[in-house]
Amino acid sequence: MIKAKKSLGQNFLTDQNILEKIIQVTNIEKKLILEIGPGTGNLTSFILKNNPKKVFLIEKDENLTSIIKNKFKEQVTIINDDVLNIDEKKIFKEKLIVFGNLPYNISTEILCKWILNLDDNNFWFDCLILMFQKEVADRIISNFNSAKYGRLAVLTQWKLNVKKICDIKPNSFYPKPKVDSSLLFFKPKKDYYNFKDPKNLETVTRIFFNQRRKMLKKPFNQLFNGKTEIANKLEIDLNLRPQNLSPDIYFQITKEYEKL
């Protein structure tokens, strides 16, 4: 039995029913596939059974990389690197279907990197099928006016449509994680706001949600140096709180911020 490294978030999915369910989310026959963190190859085996055109794997752990190489040989192309260092747009010239039972310590970092690096109208992926810890997944899919709603939901909903496929209990993994997990399915949106710099959306949401219990007056003043006409133009009631504004309003605020 392989000793799992906690530092690399290694909880291997062993439940055959869940593995089957993940693979059934979308048709992968003759499609290009990228799997993030294949680990011991449990999900990779299921992917290969479904006749994909080609399978790329990105795995940081050297030991697991050589195990996977021996197991799947020329059936897969392995990149032994940190996914956070990879420029997917440069490497992959055709759209991929991406699978990942993500290492939980960097799952939001991976998702945010992908969203911020997406080229306008030229996504390098067709869809994402990703596992997160349930608490994080709930934040990603949350709607405004709910306690979980925040930066992650706004950023995700800027470029992606997202839906939950299912929740998964700890005993589907080895070693068992302490928390429940959720599988999410993401598809790129066709229409979305274009910003001069996507980092501005991050700045705006950071300023608002870092003060999530405060009324909107305070972050609004901070962002627009007291110019209340912008709030009037966007018909925003400054007595509300950050969680009460829809993603669309945050996109409009960012547009106004970029005009300053």
139 binds ligand SAM (CB under 6 A): no
Phi, psi dihedrals of residue 25, rounded to the nearest 5°:
-60, -35
Select from 49-57, 70-78, 80-88, 194-202 the region that touches ligand SAM (CB under 6 A): 80-88
Judged by CB under 6 A, does residue 64 bind ligand SAM? yes
Q: With binding defined as CB under 6 A, does residue 60 bind ligand SAM? A: yes
Site membership for ligand SAM, residue 137 (CB under 6 A) = no
In the bound state with ligand SAM, the residue whose beta carbon lies nearer, of 39 and 198, is: 39
- Give the integer Cα–Cα distance in Å for 44 and 77: 12
Q: Does 76 engage in binding with ligand SAM (CB under 6 A)?
A: no
Strand, helix or coil for residue 42: helix
Beta-sheet pairing, 32-36 with 54-58 = parallel
The count of other CB atoms within 10 Å of the CB of residue 49 is 11
Smallest separation, CB 98 to ligand SAM (Å): 12
Q: What is the Cα–Cα distance from 36 to 155, expressed in whole angstroms?
A: 21
Dihedral angle, C-alpha 90, 98, 39, 22, nearest 10 °: 180
229 burial type by CB count under 10 A (0-12 exposed, 13-18 middle, 19+ buried): exposed
91-120 mask for ligand SAM (x: CB under 6 A)? ----------x-x--x--------------
Applying CB under 6 A, which of residues 28, 31, 38, 205 lies at the interface with ligand SAM?
38
Among 33, 47, 83, 223, binds ligand SAM (CB under 6 A): 83
Looking at 39, 52, 188, 242, which residue binds ligand SAM (CB under 6 A)?
39
The whole-angstrom separation of Cα 18 and Cα 39 is 16
133 near ligand SAM (CB under 6 A) = no
Site residues for ligand SAM per CB under 6 A? 8-13, 37-39, 42-43, 58-61, 64, 82-84, 101, 103, 106
